[in-house]
Structure 1
Amino acid sequence: MATFDRAYTDSLLTYLAASPTPYHAVAQAAELLDKAGFRRLSETAAWDAQAGGQYVIRGGAMVAWYLPPGAEASRPFRLIGSHTDSPNLRVKPIPDTGSAGWRQVAVEVYGGTLYNTWLDRDLGLAGRLSLRNGDELLVNIDRPLLRVPQLAVHLDRGVNGEGLKLNPQVHLTPVWGLGEPVRGELIEFVAAEYGLRPAAVLGWDLMLHDVAAPAYVGRDADMITASRLDNLMSVHAGVVAMVTAVEEGLDDGPIPVLAAMDHEEAGSVSTTGALGPFLETVLERLVETRGGGVDARARAYAGSVMASSDLAHAVHPNYPERHDAGHRPRANGGPVLKVNLNQRYATDGATRAVWARACEAAGVPWQTFVSRNDQPCGTTIGPLAASRLGIAAFDIGVPALSMHSARELCGADDPWRLAAALTAFLHLE
């Protein structure tokens, strides 16, 4: 039987269901922080050295921190890094299209998604609208609205033997009605859902999502399946770790920071990505508001460590040979330390020891992942943020199957273990 913390996992599934886009993910994270007494700051306002929990939001990214009373300017940071975006299908600037009597919505593939997993699913539409009055409105039409239909096997006789071949420009355009398309009708529809006139909407960032709810799976309910486990599971764990560690007391230790960045799946090159200035600017301001300059900042960074948390690859029962024989993480075996000496992951021996201490303090088992030499691995915000800031880092994550699918799978024990280990990491001197 599963031994997971049911209350924690329930809260994770609730968070995932309410966060179909990066904008919703940071809004939901902000609600959790608000309940814990954190306060939101504006980037355009002057900051002071007031102690306590605070955070800032920029688009689909968030940086949160807890400033202990009297913390000197050179006090180091303990950072938890993650990302809010997931591979998906996103609406093009001129979305209204169609063919052969079907009304469709033009989409662009975002990130390295598995194309076939978006076929024959009930899809909703969510994101943000930029309004004429300068406001932004989060929208979430969380019901079956669109569908990408697969070609019937009768018309593609070789599909099972030769494999499915999809052209993302041609074959991933969803249908959402019958008849001829009308320019402007999608935005008119979304605006009407929220009681707006179409003329009030000047911009939008909209994306598709699977409307099936996150769920427990298996004979013993020892697995969970959901969309966007990569990487909202890590965002949620980071928020819980931050709140828990603050409640337990952090006044004498390093300054805890949560960095939930956007656009990791597209390379992190944006104003809200790990290669952009957002996190760096926040850290600099936290040093300078306490009277520090270049020297204090350099000393703080030199003593800092980042835990970069992103989904990891569990060994697949149908493809075990795709893993290195000595490094095959198992679901419910504990979170995974990810290593790549070519710097696709940031872990080295020194930061491995930090992670080992955190897991030991939390009483959490952990595993190690290394790619096969003949199979390159992915990367994370870990080496990107580490190289930009000069802060030591290591990469970790919960082992899962179907990474970058429209719906992913992991063990139910591992999410709360990740949060527990991250909480212990924030307490490390």
Structure 2
Amino acid sequence: MRIVVTVCSMFFHVCRLRSDQRGAVNVIMGVLLVPLIGALGIGFEVSNWSMRTRGMQNAADAAALAAATNNGSNYDVEAKAVAARYGFLDGAGNISVTVSNSAACPGGGNTCYSATISGYVPLYLSQVVGYRGDATLNGGPAKQIGAASVAKRPSAPTDFCLLALGSQGIRSNGAPKASMACNAMSNTGSTCNGGNLGAPIGAAHNTNNGCGVTQYSNVPAVSDSYAALASKIPPDPCSSYPQEPTKKKDPALPASNRWSGSQSLGGTFVVCGDLQLTGNVSIDAPAGAVLVIENGQLDTNGYAFTTTKGTGLTVVFSGDNSGSYTHGPTGGGTLDIAAPASGTWSGVAIYQDPKLTSGVDISAAGNSPAWDITGLVYLPNSSVTLSGAVNKAGFGKSCFAMVVKDITVNGTGMILPNGECIPAGLSMPSTTIPGRATLVL
């Protein structure tokens, strides 16, 4: 009987055990714990990699833009400084920042700027599922992450009505009312005190200090394409060069050197020595003309020197540097010249021979005489002081440009707006001003 009871009790407990599910979760959790920890680890670390990579990408974008905007010899220094502000210091914390100015551009060429940031992050929970990364950091497994960016600095061609070729460039002192309705460029540096000249764009090959509403430095120099016109000046036919008398005993200028009234010119006309006006002069040259003054000045003498409607004239000052000659316009009155719109001297109103280096300075441009000029005034070795307003010729287009060695703008020096240089036949001085840097990759 006792045996039967014992057997029944054992059977009861076995049946109860079979139906009892308490503790099953522990077994399941024990089995699933490893992959669960691995999944959580992968999720955590992948999120960390993503956030870190996004930070690197932002820093690389900013660094590439900074390098392209700098566009100078220290572009890499500036780019790395920008990356450091984002928390990625080159050489610290396993971070590497590499910058280049010869990266391949998507549109072709190798003139783009690139910034690459790379680093390592250690592995933690992801090792549970057997992921060992692709690098080693401090003897342990790690994951390498990084970001790269490419930027370019586009360039736009810009025309200039004022170009200074010499070492002093563009200068102004106390000229708050100066108004350049066109762009100014110096092939060296420029400094403007007391006003920015009012020029829409002020540019300099070296440093621009205060010239122009929008100011640029480190701009490519403008090539002097007008110097080649010197080969078109005819040989000097003169045997003597009469000069205006400065003393009572000096001989008077011959009649051929004193002009008044209407003058009809065609082709090339040469005056030996000074040309002085004794009355208002109107130049009639329907086919265009070149007036060459050899070793002499054009003294307007208080009168108007004017080109008539339909006339194009280029006044060329040539000669040598042997005497005390003045090679340029002088006197009061008005210089009202429209350059020819076509031909060899197209767009050129006044031209100083580049071989002239003495007697070429102009101390009161636009004032003595007043300048109403359509076309180019080329004074490559002249130090010019612009004191007056330059307007268009009475029968000319709205187009003016001046190429000088150095220029100082005083008081209310002004240059009219340009907008008709193409029909006026003038190819303006121009260069490319780098625009705003943009990301391209």
Q: TM-score, normalising length from structure 1?
A: 0.19
Larger radius of gyration: 2
Superposition TM-score, scaled by structure 2 size: 0.19
Compare relative contact order (CA 8 Å, sep 6+) and give the higher one, 1 or 2: 1
